[in-house]
Amino acid sequence: MCHRCVAASPIAKSIRGEDLSKSVKQHWVPQFYLKEFSTPETRDAKMKKVWAFHREKGDPLLVNVEDIAAQRHLYTPACPEGKRDWKTDDKLTDLEELISKVWPTIAHDYVNLSDKHIRMAVSLFVATLILRHPCKIAEVKKIHDMMVSVWEKAPKDSEGRPYGSYIYEGKEYELDSSEWHNYKNATDYDHQIFFTSLIESETGVIAELLIKKRWSVVISEAPVFITTDNPVIAENQERERFGLGTKGTLITFPLSPTRILCMDDKFEEPASQYYPLKVKNGAPFNQVQWAKAYRFMISPRHPVNVLTEIIEYSETLEK
């Protein structure tokens, strides 16, 4: 038996004190949300499936909801001693259980988008979708490497630690490099732990930014909208570099195949409105989703049909 199989066995987990009820396959896009995009044939089945189409390889496939947008121990990396901290995963699970109870209403009904409880619940959920995505680990590593590169060029003390100062929000601060060697030699485990800590520390910050925006929902009579394994999209037509709080940033998020949530700064327009889709299909929104997908398109309809609509829509823009 391979070492990995032994380590993953129930006996080994019990010896390490791990809770056998915990899921090692951890979704960055929750299953209750993905189920909204299940195919008509499996919508009422116990095992719901979606059409998945990879950005770069292969043919469209029917995939079980539990097998997409997931990674083993994404939020519970093992420390050098082999133990795992489930705190972040537990908090995400608790939030999912809470949101899943009201999601059918949000995804299919006409909820009051001005209601503070609705706005807080949806904002927290969307904020976690942004922060819990595995691409954030790569961003953490990239920033770490950049910081190491910058400070490696600075003067060093007798211990080989950089010294100097930096300016933040107009104030100058001395660099505290007491933990420099640990920081410089950060491991994959360290990066993943920092990633999970950001989920906990920044979710509320991002949620507050989302709450302040003008909300509206575009609705379709037919189930035309897709989602992806990176469903929250931020765009800004005025700036190349921008953040969620930058003026003019538009955030779109498919609630279901018939609903798209839009968060913008057009406060001169009516707020908390439901607008009917003005075109014959969801191509304008699906095009953006597909362009920003991490790996997969996720759809209740065959991806070939979705892509055909996107191509036809793109051709109209070129005329």
Q: How far is CA 284 from CA 9, 21, 105, 136, 224, in A?
A: 47, 42, 25, 27, 11
Residue 130 has what pLDDT? Answer: 98
Q: Is the pLDDT of residue 12 over 80?
A: no
- DSSP H or E run through 193: helix 188-211
Interatomic CA distance for residues 19 and 71, integer angstroms: 18
Per-residue model confidence as pLDDT tens digits over 63-105: 999 999 999 999 999 999 999 999 999 999 999 999 999 999 9
Instruction: Give the E-state strand segments of 210-318 in sequence order.
Output: 214-219, 227-228, 233-235, 250-256, 259-264, 273-276, 296-299
- Which of helix, strand or coil describes residue 64? strand
Position 4 confidence tier, pLDDT thresholds 50, 70, 90:
very low
Cα 146–Cα 127–Cα 100 angle in degrees, nearest 5: 145
Per-residue model confidence as pLDDT tens digits over 99-117: 999 999 999 999 999 999 9
- What mean pLDDT do residues 135-150 have? 96
* Dihedral sign, Cα of residue 239, residue 240, residue 243, residue 249: positive
Per-residue model confidence as pLDDT tens digits over 271-291: 999 999 998 899 999 999 999
Q: In the chain, how many H helices and how many E strands? A: 10, 13
Q: Are 36 and 102 in contact (CB under 8 A)?
A: no
